[in-house]
């Protein structure tokens, strides 16, 4: 077979579905509209793109070709009415399939729109609800004990927000704004937990609450004057949620008087003794202070140091004896008989003799011991009724005799102590008449009764000077 143009292009045939550049244009071939086939005169020097030739070969009749001749002018085929025009077969290949799919999709678009209309209405309804949902969303800056974070919430007020976030607050915690405040987008909510502080301030113990995180901040919040104060822990120490124990002693002004000198110092001492030592004064031996040495020194307090010297002295002191009385029915009423004399005991007492700042103090008993126990005195007390008379003596003038002997005094005693009572009995005579003890200790009625008995026994001779008065 001769080397015809067909054979020449056959060797260089390219797939018509592939994208080809056209006249220097970068767009693929399928982007250009399909042109009807137009016969082109073949000439050796005529340039024809490969895709035109391939299309021609696909639609050309199968009769044998004649040898190439001189090219003829192009002929225009007669116009054919559109109604009778036969449809050209769609080109084969992937590009043609894509074009057919696009045409089909455009033809079905009205039906697709009708099907999508209900879905569009649902989407519009949901879009409205979403707008309201987004409108209720709030961006809130929440700070809990200094830890900040930004969150989104639908809570309407502070309690609801804290409940949603699991933040529990107690009566000592601080919430800002208030716990009943409403929320708006962009609000800031701060929660500060209260911490218990078991505070000993200048010797007084109490429990306080603070929202401060450090000891120094807590002192400022509690209004404690920390300048020059003693603090039991570091001021930068953080306070845990369970709190801490804190001892604070503020600086105070204390005046110390000692050895005739006066010293005023600023101190945060815990005791009076420490304050005295800070003033440069030493206590020796029995030295003491006007305020208890272990007491807390107060602001403006004056403390006096007392220099003490002293000795001890031992003294023996008697211990009084007790008296025990028992009833004696054999003795007349008003009569007491000592059956055992009492004996005092002996006690040894040690006294401290002190001199304070050169002035002697009252002795102070520091020790005592019993050397001898006292012996109890026993007395019998008569219960027998006193006789009203002694035969033949009731008519005598006993009052005149008593007036003469003792001046009418039952307890009278002479200068020597030998005679006593209304009628000046001596002890021996008195006891011989049944009396007990001393006559001056007996009742007046008993003394008169004993005098009558003596008169019966001896007449008026026992009273040589006053006896005649009995008959006067």
Question: Which position has the token pair 């004896």?
Answer: 321
Name the 3-class secondary structure at 366.
strand
| pTM, to two decimals | 0.40
Query: What pLDDT is attached to residue 48?
Result: 52
CA distance 42 to 224: 114
Taking every pair of Cα atoms in the chain, the longest distance, rounded to a whole number of angstroms, is 220
Domain-terminating residue out of 379, 405, 437: 379
Mean pLDDT throughout 131-149?
Answer: 78
Weakest mean pLDDT among 55-64, 189-198, 204-213, 410-419: 55-64
| Residue 303: count of CB within 10 angstroms of its CB | 22
Residue 433 is encoded by which pair of tokens?
Answer: 């008449």
| Residue 140: count of CB within 10 angstroms of its CB | 20
Query: What pLDDT is attached to residue 46?
Result: 46
Domain-terminating residue out of 360, 379, 398: 379
Alpha-carbon dihedral angle through residues 450, 455, 457, 459, given to the nearest 10 degrees: 160
Judgement on whether residues 459 and 406 belong to the same structural domain of the protein: yes
CA angle (135 as vertex; 131, 140 as ends), nearest 5: 145
CA distance 141 to 186: 7
| Residue 452: count of CB within 10 angstroms of its CB | 21
208 confidence band (pLDDT: 50, 70, 90): very high
- The answer, yes or no, to whether residue 466 has pLDDT greater than 60, is yes
What CATH number is associated with residue 265? 3.10.20.90
Judgement on whether residues 345 and 364 belong to the same structural domain of the protein: yes
102 confidence band (pLDDT: 50, 70, 90): low
Answer yes or no: is 404 within a domain.
Answer: yes
Answer yes or no: is 5 within a domain.
Answer: yes
Mean pLDDT throughout 381-403?
Answer: 84
The residue among 31, 10, 3 whose CA lies nearest residue 19 is: 31
Give kind and range of the element (H or E) at residue 135.
helix 109-136
Judgement on whether residues 316 and 373 belong to the same structural domain of the protein: yes
Judgement on whether residues 187 and 201 belong to the same structural domain of the protein: no
Judgement on whether residues 268 and 302 belong to the same structural domain of the protein: yes
Rg (CA), the chain: 70
Judgement on whether residues 148 and 178 belong to the same structural domain of the protein: yes
Answer yes or no: is 10 within a domain.
Answer: yes
Answer yes or no: is 69 within a domain.
Answer: no
Judgement on whether residues 29 and 11 belong to the same structural domain of the protein: yes
- The answer, yes or no, to whether residue 107 has pLDDT greater than 70, is no
What CATH number is associated with residue 216? 3.10.20.30
Q: What is the total count of domains within the chain?
A: 6
What CATH number is associated with residue 363? 2.20.230.10
- Provide the residue count of the chain: 472
Judgement on whether residues 460 and 391 belong to the same structural domain of the protein: yes
CA angle (255 as vertex; 252, 261 as ends), nearest 5: 155
Judgement on whether residues 55 and 16 belong to the same structural domain of the protein: yes
- The answer, yes or no, to whether residue 29 has pLDDT greater than 70, is no
Between 323 and 127, name the one with better pLDDT: 323
Domain-terminating residue out of 379, 405, 424: 379
393 confidence band (pLDDT: 50, 70, 90): confident
Answer yes or no: is 123 within a domain.
Answer: no
Mean pLDDT throughout 427-455?
Answer: 90
Mean pLDDT throughout 233-247?
Answer: 91
- pLDDT tens column, 143-177: 998 889 898 999 889 988 888 888 888 888 889 88
Answer yes or no: is 94 within a domain.
Answer: no
Domain ranges, residue 234: 195-249
Answer yes or no: is 120 within a domain.
Answer: no
Residue 136 is encoded by which pair of tokens?
Answer: 């209720």
CA distance 374 to 262: 54
The residue among 42, 44, 64, 57 whose CA lies nearest residue 11 is: 57
CA distance 336 to 331: 8
**Cβ atoms of residues 287 and 333 within 8 Å:** no
Alpha-carbon dihedral angle through residues 409, 414, 420, 423, given to the nearest 10 degrees: -60
Mean pLDDT throughout 433-451?
Answer: 89
Measured CA to CA in angstroms, residue 242 lies from 77, 126, 147, 168, 211 at distances of 105, 51, 18, 15, 12
Weakest mean pLDDT among 103-107, 172-176, 281-285, 325-329: 103-107
Residue 400: CA atoms inside 13 Å, Cβ hemisphere, count?
11
Weakest mean pLDDT among 14-23, 250-259, 318-327: 14-23
Judgement on whether residues 202 and 264 belong to the same structural domain of the protein: no
Judgement on whether residues 320 and 342 belong to the same structural domain of the protein: yes
């Amino acid at each position: 077979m001769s080397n015809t143009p067909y054979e020449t292009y056959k060797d260089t045939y390219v797939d018509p579905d592939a994208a080809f550049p056209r006249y220097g244009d970068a767009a693929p071939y399928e982007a250009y509209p399909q042109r009807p086939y137009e016969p082109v005169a073949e000439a050796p020097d005529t340039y024809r793109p490969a895709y035109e030739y391939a299309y021609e070969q696909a639609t050309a009749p199968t009769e044998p070709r004649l040898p190439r001749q001189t090219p003829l002018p192009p002929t225009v085929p007669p116009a054919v009415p559109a109604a009778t025009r036969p449809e050209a077969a769609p080109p084969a290949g992937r590009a043609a399939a894509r074009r057919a799919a696009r045409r089909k999709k455009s033809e079905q678009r009205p039906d697709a729109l009708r099907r999508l209309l209900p879905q569009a209405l649902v989407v519009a309804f949901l879009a409205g609800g979403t707008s309201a949902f987004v409108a209720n969303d709030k961006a809130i800056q929440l700070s809990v004990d200094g830890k900040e974070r930004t969150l989104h919430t639908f809570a309407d007020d502070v309690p609801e927000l804290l409940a949603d976030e699991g933040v529990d607050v107690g009566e000592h915690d601080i919430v800002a704004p208030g716990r009943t405040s409403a929320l708006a987008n962009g609000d800031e909510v701060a929660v500060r937990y209260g911490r218990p502080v078991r505070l000993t301030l200048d010797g007084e113990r109490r429990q306080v609450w603070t929202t401060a995180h450090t000891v120094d901040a807590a002192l400022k919040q509690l209004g404690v004057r920390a300048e020059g104060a003693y603090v039991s822990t570091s001021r930068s120490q953080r306070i845990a949620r369970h709190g801490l124990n804190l001892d604070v002693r503020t600086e105070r002004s204390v005046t110390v008087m000692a050895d005739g000198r006066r010293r005023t110092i600023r101190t945060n001492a815990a005791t009076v003794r420490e304050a005295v030592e800070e003033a440069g004064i030493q206590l020796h031996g029995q030295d003491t202070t006007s305020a208890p040495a272990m007491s807390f020194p107060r602001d403006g307090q004056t403390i006096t140091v007392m220099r003490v010297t002293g000795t001890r002295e031992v003294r023996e002191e008697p211990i009084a004896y007790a008296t025990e009385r028992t009833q004696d029915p054999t003795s007349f009423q008003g009569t007491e008989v000592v059956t055992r004399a009492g004996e005092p005991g002996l006690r040894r007492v040690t006294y401290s003799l002190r001199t304070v700042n050169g002035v002697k103090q009252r002795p102070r008993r520091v020790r005592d011991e019993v050397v001898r126990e006292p012996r109890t005195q026993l007395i019998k007390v008569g219960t027998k009724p006193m006789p009203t008379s002694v035969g033949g003596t009731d008519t005598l003038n006993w009052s005149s005799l008593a007036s003469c002997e003792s001046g009418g005094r039952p307890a009278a005693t002479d200068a020597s102590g030998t005679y006593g009572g209304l009628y000046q009995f001596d002890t021996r005579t008195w006891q011989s008449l049944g009396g007990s003890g001393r006559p001056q200790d007996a009742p007046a009625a008993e003394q008169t009764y004993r005098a009558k008995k003596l008169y019966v026994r001896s007449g008026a001779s026992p009273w040589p000077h006053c006896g005649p008065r009995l008959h006067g």
